[in-house]
A and B are shown apart, each in its own frame.
Chain A
Amino acid sequence: MGVALAMVFFVAPVDADQGISQKIFYFHVPIALTSYICFGTGAWKGLRLLWTGAERYDLESYTAIHQGTIFGALTLITGSIWAKASWDRWWVWSEDQLVLFLVLFLFYCAYFMLRFSIEPGPRRERISAVYALFGAALIPVSALAIRLSQRFIHPVVFTRHGPGMTHTQFAAFCVCWVAIAVLAYVMYRIELVGKRSDAQLQDLREAVAT
């Protein structure tokens, strides 16, 4: 069932992309934006967890951050390929977005390590939630920091090609973004169902064993 559902949404973004000048941009930027949304959702669910103490927000927050990290890794890879295509270098430190994603990627990798090093229980839920909140605060602060750092690390600024977007390009971009967002949402739901069933099975097994 999960596979079929995923396949349906697989097709959607591909369709929307046809007939448009093939650019990584249409995938790279929506994935990056969606990744922010995922991290934001994770933080929001974390806040809800701290607020209400309802256990279900823990898995929701975790799943959202899981999604965000997958999309973040994709952003890094596609961005790196884009940099290679445009500037003939695999990595450019002058690209704010990419550097920010590297920082975030490291931060959220540490999230998983922290999470798995703590025994499951209410304390782990709360620590994960606080961590997710810190992530949401770190995104704008890091963005600002990286922008500031460009001034002393890189006096020369690369110019990106393909400056302004035409209307059709913008429309295509929006369609792509919607498609990716829907894809992310579906992935999020599927992951969530999977993780919930996993937890429920665990409970059941304990109930049967006793």
Chain B
Amino acid sequence: MSGYALDVAALVRKDLRLELRAREVVPAMAVFVIATLVVFHFALPHGSGRDAAYGLLWVALVFTALLGLGRSWVPEREGRTLDGLVLAPCDRSAIWLGKSIATLAFLALAQLVALPAFALFFEPLTGQAIAGVVLADIGICAVGALVSAMAAAGRTRDLVLPLVFLPLAIPLIVGGIGSSIATHAGSYLLFLVLYDLLFSILSWASFEYVITE
């Protein structure tokens, strides 16, 4: 088991180091999410209230995640290292876990910019909203790492990924918005936990089939 954890840690370290050198994904995500929030400020009619603002925050977060996910397998594809990773003497699901954790780290960094900006521009954030964001992030990255690997196998990967990802993300958005604006957020947070568990297990179990030739 510790071998598995070491493999995952090595894969995560590899992705983080690549990002640290290239500085491509995280700055792009951060700028994108701020730009989206600014656009939403103008799109939102004056005085439409906090529920609408929270709704827009979630739209911005999901599209930012999509931007990051679209890039998530690009280094492997351009460097043609995926075959090497698959052949490496580690469990294939470790590749998925490593990629999910790395994507989660990118997303969290982008949100470290996005959430204060939201609080500054629109509404102060509540604790339950932040809990909802964190839980939804886990689900987004777990499903997203698998789905983007699926889309990367095809010719039209950039087109297919949003189409596949958005219907899968609808329950997450429901849970996230519910936990942000409902007075009793408990059931929504519980729902998010359920989603995370279910789809993480599914992705973890099925990743091997997606990645091998």
- A contacts B directly (C-beta below 8 A): yes
On chain B, the residues within 8 Å of A123 by CB distance are: 153, 212-213
- B28 at interface by CB-CB < 8 Å: no
- A16 at interface by CB-CB < 8 Å: no
- Whether the Cβ atoms of A126 and B191 lie closer than 8 Å is no
On chain B, the residues within 8 Å of A199 by CB distance are: none
- B168 at interface by CB-CB < 8 Å: yes
Number of B residues with CB within 8 Å of any CB on chain A? 37
- Whether the Cβ atoms of B178 and A103 lie closer than 8 Å is no
Smallest CB separation, A62 vs chain B (Å):
15
Smallest CB separation, A132 vs chain B (Å):
11
Q: In whole angstroms, what is the CA distance A13 to B160 when docked?
A: 38
On chain A, the residues within 8 Å of B164 by CB distance are: 107, 110, 114, 131
- B119 at interface by CB-CB < 8 Å: no
Closest to A130 in B: B206
- B167 at interface by CB-CB < 8 Å: yes
- Given the known A-B contacts A133-B206, A152-B181, are A145 and B170 also in contact in the complex, defined by CB atoms under 8 Å? yes
- Whether the Cβ atoms of B150 and A146 lie closer than 8 Å is no
- Given the known A-B contacts A113-B159, A117-B154, A152-B178, are A127 and B170 also in contact in the complex, defined by CB atoms under 8 Å? no
Closest to A47 in B: B206
Q: In whole angstroms, what is the CA distance A186 to B159 when docked?
A: 34
Q: In whole angstroms, what is the CA distance A6 to B13 when docked?
A: 59
Per-position contact with B for A90-116: 1 when CB-CB < 8 Å, else 0? 000000000000011011011001100
22 contacts between A and B (CB under 8 A): A50-B206, A103-B167, A107-B167, A109-B163, A110-B164, A114-B154, A117-B151, A117-B159, A118-B155, A123-B153, A126-B209, A129-B209, A130-B210, A131-B164, A134-B168, A137-B202, A141-B194, A142-B170, A145-B191, A146-B174, A148-B188, A152-B177
12 new A-B contacts at CB < 8 Å, known A110-B160, A123-B212, A127-B153:
A113-B160, A114-B160, A117-B151, A118-B153, A127-B209, A129-B209, A130-B206, A131-B164, A134-B202, A138-B167, A149-B174, A149-B177
Spell out A's residues near B (CB within 8 Å): 50, 103-104, 106-107, 109-110, 113-114, 117-119, 122-124, 126-127, 129-131, 133-134, 137-138, 141-142, 144-146, 148-149, 151-152
